[in-house]
Amino acid sequence: MLKANNPNLQSWIAVSKDSDFPIQNLPFGVFQTAYKQPSVATIIGDTVVDLAALAAGGIFDTIEMDTTVFSEQYINRFMALGKSTTRAVRDLLSTVLQKGNTTIAGNSQLMAKSLYSIKEVEMLLPVKVGDYTDFYSSREHATNVGAMFRDPNNALLPNWLHLPVGYHGRASSIIVSGTPVRRPKGQQKPKENGVPIFGPCQRLDFELEMAFIVGKSTTLGDSITTDKAEDYIFGVTLFNDWSARDIQKWEYVPLGPFLGKSFASTIAPWVVTLDALEPFRTAGYDQDPAVLPYLKYEGDCNYDIQLQVGIQPEGSNEKIVCESNFKHLYWTMNQQLAHHTINGCNVNVGDMCASGTISGPTQDSYGSMLEISWNGTKSVEMLDGTQRQFIADGDTVIMRGWGEAAGVRIGFGSCEGKILPAN
């Protein structure tokens, strides 16, 4: 077990029992204030820890590294230092933030310069995303959608059980939690035999996903094997792949999603390292038919991470509409990255790969309103009495994720966005 994951560790920084961010987590993100330029940070409880300030105070002098990476607007340069260095940083933070350690706690000036309440900072997009790939890796979700729009007895397309289906998406519209989302406009075809119309999306949806961040580049022509994939995956974050279902339905033949997806995708502000997720490893699905050799893997490569989605209408309280789990992925992250690169496609530091909608086997675990409302044929009642088949203007969608083991909760913070009316 990694020493920073020791469940007995405690910090001198206060942490509530239901916090996503105990000392065993130590995720990475970027923040700024009205008086401070963007800086790389970690978080314990509700306290944001400025790593640039710690570096200026000499905290990282025992690690051979370029500490200017902490004075950046993104964590890309930090990730590019390599896992041996980023792991050493996490281990050192674990040491100096432990209860009883006075390296920081005994230095009032350094504490004043490096510790911020989460309420007084603005969290920024943590990663400069170069390329973004969206997969389609939940069998339950793919089966539901196939049953809804095709033959329920042949819901999965012939290739689905043989490879991780994916597509290249738009990176420029990936936004950080808290950024409002404007309802998209586009072409729709409400009647099968009618003509297309143009206007605001009428079937706006969320998609409950997780995304991994590439922390190590490859060369064009090279491939990453499943057993080496985790060397290239820096960490994971929550991901809401907003979807305009009516726009997408009309446009996706023959080349797939375009305007129905590219208007916005929201991520949580914190990237949780694979190291911190070690306690939550779990077995993957038995894959039948057997996959081709390059997609085979050994060990537990799925993660038992509880996932939750709530909808909060404007002026009302939040209604939980989905309880799912990251382990409901038929295709693992290792397989996704191996397949992504098997043709020689190069990946770069900061590239992001999303899982696709994560649906479980029961109705309360469906990861999209498309499934929850079964293509608009069912309604969900909000706490204020209003009904939803899809997302309404003024609604805030809130996603959460956390794992629990040995009395320790490791989470991602919230991933949320409010829908504004179309321009």
Mean predicted confidence (pLDDT) in 189-202: 92
Mean predicted confidence (pLDDT) in 189-214: 95
Instruction: Evaluate whether 93 touches 85 at the Cβ level (below 8 Å).
Output: no
Per-residue model confidence (pLDDT) at position 92: 98
Which stretch of DSSP H or E encloses residue 51?
helix 51-56
The pLDDT-based confidence of 11 (bands split at 50, 70, 90) is very high
Mean predicted confidence (pLDDT) in 237-261: 96
The amino acid occupying position 194 is G
The pLDDT-based confidence of 252 (bands split at 50, 70, 90) is very high
Residues β-bridged to residue 282: 302
The Cα–Cα gap between 344 and 161 comes to 22
Q: By CB neighbour count within 10 A (0-12 exposed, 13-18 middle, 19+ buried), where does 248 fall?
A: buried
Per-residue model confidence (pLDDT) at position 1: 57
pLDDT beyond 60 at 294: yes
pLDDT digits (tens, 9 = 90+) for 212-230: 999 999 999 999 999 999 9
Write out the catalytic residue numbers. Answer: 141
**What is the overall mean pLDDT for the chain?**
97
DSSP state, residue 365: G
Token pair recorded at residue 119: 């309420």
| Same fold yes or no, 3-124 and 132-420 | no
pLDDT beyond 70 at 390: yes
DSSP state, residue 271: B
pLDDT digits (tens, 9 = 90+) for 128-165: 999 999 999 999 999 999 999 888 888 999 999 999 99
Bigger pLDDT: 190 or 114?
114
The Cα–Cα gap between 414 and 29 comes to 13
Per-residue model confidence (pLDDT) at position 2: 76
Which stretch of DSSP H or E encloses residue 90?
helix 83-96
Question: What are the structural domain ranges in the chain?
Answer: 3-124, 132-420
Pick the CATH number of 132-420 from 3.30.450.90, 1.20.120.420, 3.90.850.10, 3.40.50.150: 3.90.850.10
Mean predicted confidence (pLDDT) in 391-416: 98
The class of domain 3-124 in CATH terms is mainly beta
Compute φ and ψ for 184, nearest 5 degrees.
Answer: -80, 160
pLDDT digits (tens, 9 = 90+) for 77-87: 999 999 999 99
Mean predicted confidence (pLDDT) in 347-369: 98
Mean predicted confidence (pLDDT) in 6-12: 97
Largest CA distance in the chain: 73
The pTM for the full model equals: 0.97
